[in-house]
Amino acid sequence: MSRRNWTLVGVALLVGFVGFAFATFRTTLTPYVSFDDARAAARTVQVAGALEKQSTRYDETAEALHFALVEAESGRTLPVRYHGLRPANFEDAISIVAIGSWDASANEFAAQKLLVKCPSKYQGAEVKTYG
Amino acid sequence: MSALASYYLPGSVALWCAVAFALAALWGYADLARGDESARPFARRAYQLFALALVLAAYVLLLALARRDFRLDYVYQYSGLDLPIRFQMAAFWAGQKGSFMIWLLWGALIGVPLLRCCGKQEAPVMGIYLLAQLGVLFILVRESPFLMLDHAPADGQGLNPLLQDNWMVIHPPIMFIGYALAAVPFAFAMAALLVRDTREWAARAFPWALAGFLVLGCAILMGGYWAYKTLGWGGYWGWDPVENASLIPWILGTALVHGLYLERTRGRFRRMNLILAALVFLSVLYGTFLTRSGVLADFSVHSFVDLGISGWLIALMAVFLALAAWLLGTRLRSVETAPNVDPPLSRGTFLVLSTTSILVAGLVVTLGTSSPLLTRFRDQPAQVGPEFYNRVNFPLALLVTFLLSLVPYLTWKGETPPRELLRKIAPGLVAGLVALGVAFTLGVHSPLHLLFVGLATTALVTNLQKFVAKTRAGGLAAGGGYLAHVGVSILFLGILASSAYDESAKVTLVQGKPVQTGDLTLTFQRFLPRAGELKERAEVDVVRPDGSLWKAYPKIFVNDRTRQLMVNPAIRSSFFADLYVSPMEYDPGEPADRVGRLELAKGESAAIGELEVRFVGFNLEKEGNALAKMASGEQVTIAAMVDVRRGETTQRVEPVFRFSRAGSTEFPPIELAGGGRLALGGINASAGTAQLLFEGLGANAGRPARLSLDVTHKPLVQMVWMGIYVALAGGLLALVGRVRQLRTLAAIGK
């Protein structure tokens, strides 16, 4: 092959790679969405809210934690299920970010991961990841 | 926030002296640049004084920490009386102000030997290097660690318990040496453009770039080790923004080191290297901005809060970006570079391709790390998950391994015929095929992964062969690069195995109940209390398929001072795989013997839990006549007749109370049908009442303790560490070789 052709192959590969990188970027992005959008979304999303007081319930047999989040702007609530024990200081959390997807059959948001932000005297606030 | 009164004078004076000396040195170097040779000693002396002033400032801060002088806001915020002295000292870099301080301190110290290594371009190189120092110094003066409180608190707030680890004592300072070294190639490159003489800078900057690359690599290794061994983040790498902030300069530094090698040997990449040198330094500034400005606070496990320095950091970035863009934009075209005449199958072409791949990998990580910033403009900020980095970097790693496997036996001009090349790499190819077969039988079925295993093994063997050959011919330092590539091949195999073939399960264990997960049986035996230095830990029996028992002791405890939940994983390492048990949460449960108490008169009823209880009356004949026994001084037994109704069923029980004249009493509990126990705890003879004690009733029957764990089987993690050690050793040898070359060059020049 001539030098010119090699260059063309290189450019084609590079363009292909850039396309691949951006496509992956889009699919692996977990967008922050509103509670309403979370109910409609089919993909993994993240929602943020405050814990609704006294909404926490631990299901012993299913080993699942159920609770509800309250959205700051709209005041709407979203029921959330998380498989695992209740994180420490859960009730003190300033805000909770749940990453997961809407489970229409259970009418609940199934969280794979929780980011629990607690007040801390270090660096303002402390974020802990669960899941 | 307490009122802040003023600045701690000794430290503040030292900082301001540093500013003055830096400006003086800049002035001196400006004169020198204009050709006034007599300005050189002045500029050098001013620079040395600048470094000395920073050493003094750092010493003052260290002294204040050692003396636990809590009048200083910084000392108050990050240290405390209960800290051991090593952590008290490490509090120096626990906060943002202190980390800027140590960054600047290293930068200033590096400049001292640097100013004698610049050759003819001392004035522009040191001028630009000083500008970089001044930028950080201005932030430090504004956000001074010497700010004082208007009172002297008795104790500080203590150091974040997550940071109270021996790695904290060495990891951050080494990281900042790497950051500080990034400014050196930048200064050389920009100075070369400034004076329009780009022939010499690559040779001079090479050892510094290599040193920075090695030190940063070392620091990243330590960070990964820390995260893996003690923090229990589940792995050695989580693609967290703070981790990435140190990885990006390192990847770009890898590209720079290879590019400089290419320039030194083939005269190619002259323009690219100037860009790379700029990118390495700019990526350090960008990473600092990302992690120190609070823009990623919601996305990182290392949450940093906005100190109000975002504006300064953006300004700093903008200034140096503008400087680099101006110099590169206006003068890059005039840089002469050797034409591309290498055939495809030559070392030159392969090096260009691998350097480009590494650069692209650096840009990919930058893109991912910036995702919360990029998406902010359109929508709510969002972050890409680790899959992004893994997926996108995989093809690049595949390409690099392919290039690595052939490169040892390619010549610069590619005159080796393919047949001979094949003969030379035959042992490597055989090894690669064997590894591929082994991997397949072990369950690796993805064709791309198999290809990767084969190529990486081939690369390992060919580079090892070449390293041995080179070492025999020209001593250890001659083969450093090949040894580094051996390490990279090992590292790649370890990364693939431990990240793509790990098996992770989240299990919640109820105390005493064995749970099967994968091929392991786990039983949470008990929770052990704190014993001296040893923190609270859980004892978990892990029975492996071969029946062997491993007692794992993952630690999970609440820090006394802060109520923060802390975890340390338990790791069982072998060469082939690590078993990683990381605690996530512990629920101590509630003991079953919660006690309820009723005092009832004859015929009276009361409810407790789900029970309806009626005290019918005393029975004095339960174990012989009580009154007669009392008279004779024997042990007396009195029973209470109690009707206990639970739901529809009523049970008559007669708990007893025994007492002797000597004062001994006993009141054995009676098991109640349906759960719980009842005892007659005492008798009030004058009131005619019975004290009924209940245990373990209804809702209070207690919950068993639970422990939730992340149990991960990670194959070949040891190869990750081993690979990095070997790569670093290789890099160190290469550095020795480069420094020798430079000395020889200098000797010839003279």
Which string of DSSP letters, residue by residue, matches A32-91?
B--HHHHHH--S-EEEEEEEPTT--EEETTTTEEEEEEE-TTT--EEEEEEESPPPTTGG
Q: What's the mean per-residue pLDDT of chain B?
A: 89
pLDDT for A88 equals: 67
**Which of B406, B421, B447 delimits the end of a domain?**
B406
Sign of the Cα pseudo-torsion (B721, B727, B728, B730, in order): positive
The β-bridge partners of A39 are none
pLDDT at B591 over 80: no
Domain with residue B84: its CATH number is 1.20.120
Q: Quick one: how far is CA B708 from the chain centroid?
A: 23
User: Are B302 and B227 contacting, i.e. CB atoms less than 8 angstroms apart?
Assistant: no
- Whether residue B304 lies inside any domain: the answer is yes
- Whether residue B451 lies inside any domain: the answer is no
Range picked from A92-101, B330-339, B484-493, B604-613 for highest mean pLDDT: B484-493
Task: Examine the domain organization and report whether B510 and B630 are in the same domain.
Answer: no
- Whether residue B429 lies inside any domain: the answer is no
The DSSP element (H or E) to which A30 belongs, if any, is strand A29-30
Find chain A residues with C-beta within 8 A of B388's C-beta: 24-25, 28-29
User: Are B182 and B245 contacting, i.e. CB atoms less than 8 angstroms apart?
Assistant: no
pLDDT for B716 equals: 93
Amino acid identity of residue B482, one-letter, is: Y
The C-alpha atoms of residue B361 and residue A24 are separated, in whole angstroms, by 14
pLDDT for A80 equals: 94
The burial of B116, by beta-carbon neighbours within 10 Å (0-12 exposed, 13-18 middle, 19 or more buried), is given as exposed
pLDDT for A6 equals: 80
The C-alpha atoms of residue B325 and residue B327 are separated, in whole angstroms, by 6
Q: Closest approach of chain B CAs to the CA of A54, in angstroms?
A: 18
pLDDT at B720 over 80: yes
pLDDT at B223 over 70: yes
Inform me whether the C-beta atom of residue A33 falls under 8 Å from chain B C-beta atoms. Answer: yes
The C-alpha atoms of residue B691 and residue B685 are separated, in whole angstroms, by 11
Could you tell me the pLDDT band of residue A124, with boundaries at 50, 70 and 90?
Answer: very low
Tell me whether residues B387 and A88 touch, CB distance under 8 A. no
ipTM of this predicted structure = 0.80
Task: Examine the domain organization and report whether B19 and B141 are in the same domain.
Answer: yes
Q: At B134, is the secondary structure helix, strand, or coil? A: helix
User: Are B112 and B47 contacting, i.e. CB atoms less than 8 angstroms apart?
Assistant: yes
Q: Which of B297, B382, B558 faces A31 most closely, judged by CB atoms? A: B382
Tens-digit pLDDT profile for residues B358-412: 999 999 999 999 988 888 777 667 788 888 999 999 999 999 999 999 999 998 8
| pTM exceeds cut of 0.90 | no
pLDDT at B14 over 80: yes
The C-alpha atoms of residue A85 and residue B510 are separated, in whole angstroms, by 11
The β-bridge partners of B606 are B613
- Whether residue B481 lies inside any domain: the answer is no
**Which of B354, B376, B406 delimits the end of a domain?**
B406
pLDDT for B676 equals: 78
CA nearest to B318, candidates B290, B286, B341, B347: B286
Task: Examine the domain organization and report whether B362 and B260 are in the same domain.
Answer: yes
Task: Examine the domain organization and report whether B135 and B206 are in the same domain.
Answer: no
pLDDT for B234 equals: 65
pLDDT at A15 over 70: yes
Lowest-pLDDT choice from A8-17, B152-161, B559-568, B610-619: B559-568
pLDDT at B221 over 80: yes
B21, B22, B26, B27 alpha-carbon torsion, rounded to 10°: -30
pLDDT for B461 equals: 97
Tens-digit pLDDT profile for residues B294-336: 777 666 555 455 567 788 889 999 999 999 999 999 999 988 8
Residues with Cβ within 8 Å of residue B90, at least 6 apart in sequence: B159, B163, B168, B169, B172
CA nearest to B579, candidates B744, B401, B715: B715
pLDDT at B232 over 50: yes
Task: Examine the domain organization and report whether B261 and B341 are in the same domain.
Answer: yes
**Which of B362, B380, B406 delimits the end of a domain?**
B406
Lowest-pLDDT choice from B108-117, B290-299, B600-609: B290-299
Closest alpha carbon within chain A to B707? A85
CA nearest to B95, candidates A92, A122, A46: A122
Place of tokens 């503008």: B322
Q: At B685, is the secondary structure helix, strand, or coil? A: coil
Task: Examine the domain organization and report whether B148 and B204 are in the same domain.
Answer: no
Between A65 and B282, residue with greater pLDDT: B282
Inform me whether the C-beta atom of residue A63 falls under 8 Å from chain B C-beta atoms. Answer: yes
Q: Closest approach of chain B CAs to the CA of A25, in angstroms?
A: 6
The C-alpha atoms of residue B107 and residue B117 are separated, in whole angstroms, by 15
Residues with Cβ within 8 Å of residue A11, at least 6 apart in sequence: none
pLDDT for B558 equals: 77
Q: Closest approach of chain B CAs to the CA of A126, in angstroms?
A: 7
Could you tell me the pLDDT band of residue A122, with boundaries at 50, 70 and 90?
Answer: very low
Residues with Cβ within 8 Å of residue B739, at least 6 apart in sequence: B207
Tens-digit pLDDT profile for residues B400-410: 999 999 999 99
Q: What's the mean per-residue pLDDT of chain A?
A: 82
Between A76 and A95, residue with greater pLDDT: A76
Going from the C-alpha of B477 to that of each of A36, B399, B737, the distances in angstroms are 63, 27, 5
Q: Which of B160, B380, B706 faces A31 most closely, judged by CB atoms? A: B380
Tens-digit pLDDT profile for residues B73-104: 999 999 999 899 999 999 999 988 999 999 99
Closest alpha carbon within chain A to B370? A25
Q: Closest approach of chain A CAs to the CA of B689, in angstroms?
A: 40
User: Are B488 and B728 contacting, i.e. CB atoms less than 8 angstroms apart?
Assistant: no
pLDDT for A129 equals: 60
| Stretch B453-463: mean pLDDT | 97
Q: What share of chain B has pLDDT > 70, as a percent? A: 94
The β-bridge partners of B706 are B510, B587
pLDDT for A128 equals: 58
CA nearest to B494, candidates B462, B457, B465, B461: B457
Backbone angles phi, psi at B300, to 5 degrees: -125, 145
Could you tell me the pLDDT band of residue B433, with boundaries at 50, 70 and 90?
Answer: very high
- Whether residue B682 lies inside any domain: the answer is yes
Residues with Cβ within 8 Å of residue B164, at least 6 apart in sequence: B83, B87
CA nearest to B103, candidates B245, B256, B267: B245
Q: Quick one: how far is CA B519 from the chain centroid?
A: 30
- Whether residue B678 lies inside any domain: the answer is yes
Q: Closest approach of chain B CAs to the CA of A67, in angstroms?
A: 17
Structure tokens at A49: 């809210």
pLDDT at A50 over 50: yes
Tens-digit pLDDT profile for residues A30-41: 887 889 888 988
Backbone angles phi, psi at B29, to 5 degrees: -70, -30
Task: Examine the domain organization and report whether B118 and B55 are in the same domain.
Answer: yes
CA nearest to B340, candidates B392, B266, B290: B266
Could you tell me the pLDDT band of residue A127, with boundaries at 50, 70 and 90?
Answer: low
Place of tokens 């707030």: B157
Tens-digit pLDDT profile for residues B29-86: 999 999 999 999 999 999 999 999 999 999 999 999 999 999 999 999 999 998 999 9
Angle at A73 between CA A72 and CA A78, to 5 degrees: 60
The β-bridge partners of B665 are B659
- Whether residue B609 lies inside any domain: the answer is yes
Find chain B residues with C-beta within 8 A of A88's C-beta: 558, 565, 585
Inform me whether the C-beta atom of residue A15 falls under 8 Å from chain B C-beta atoms. Answer: no
pLDDT at B3 over 50: no
pLDDT at B349 over 50: yes
Residues with Cβ within 8 Å of residue A53, at least 6 apart in sequence: none
Task: Examine the domain organization and report whether B513 and B558 are in the same domain.
Answer: yes
Tens-digit pLDDT profile for residues B611-646: 888 999 998 888 888 888 888 888 888 999 999 988
The C-alpha atoms of residue B597 and residue B678 are separated, in whole angstroms, by 10
Range picked from A92-96, B250-254, B525-529, B565-569 for highest mean pLDDT: B250-254
pLDDT for B132 equals: 96
Tell me whether residues A131 and B506 touch, CB distance under 8 A. yes
Q: How many domains does chain B have?
A: 4
Q: At B613, is the secondary structure helix, strand, or coil? A: strand
pLDDT at B561 over 80: no
Which range marks the domain in which residue B13 is found?
Answer: 1-152
| Stretch B463-491: mean pLDDT | 93
Structure tokens at A41: 């979304």
pLDDT at B293 over 60: yes
The C-alpha atoms of residue B429 and residue B405 are separated, in whole angstroms, by 9
Tell me whether residues B383 and A127 touch, CB distance under 8 A. no
| Stretch B172-179: mean pLDDT | 96
- Which of B364, B369, B556, B584 is the best mutation test for A, with the most CBs of A within 10 A? B584
Residues in chain B: 750
Tell me whether residues A24 and B391 touch, CB distance under 8 A. yes
Tell me whether residues B385 and A89 touch, CB distance under 8 A. no
Tell me whether residues A29 and B375 touch, CB distance under 8 A. yes
CA nearest to B690, candidates B597, B627, B609: B597
Closest alpha carbon within chain B to A1? B344
Q: Closest approach of chain B CAs to the CA of A97, in angstroms?
A: 9
Q: At B383, is the secondary structure helix, strand, or coil? A: strand
The burial of B11, by beta-carbon neighbours within 10 Å (0-12 exposed, 13-18 middle, 19 or more buried), is given as buried
Closest alpha carbon within chain B to A62? B508
User: Are B737 and B647 contacting, i.e. CB atoms less than 8 angstroms apart?
Assistant: no
Inform me whether the C-beta atom of residue A35 falls under 8 Å from chain B C-beta atoms. Answer: no
pLDDT at B418 over 90: no
Between B472 and A6, residue with greater pLDDT: B472
pLDDT at B698 over 70: no
Task: Examine the domain organization and report whether B138 and B194 are in the same domain.
Answer: no
Task: Examine the domain organization and report whether B574 and B602 are in the same domain.
Answer: no
Task: Examine the domain organization and report whether B205 and B147 are in the same domain.
Answer: no
**DSSP annotation of B229:** I
- Whether residue B428 lies inside any domain: the answer is no
Between B322 and B348, residue with greater pLDDT: B322
Task: Examine the domain organization and report whether B37 and B128 are in the same domain.
Answer: yes
Inform me whether the C-beta atom of residue A12 falls under 8 Å from chain B C-beta atoms. Answer: no
Count contacts between A and B (CB, < 8 Å): 100
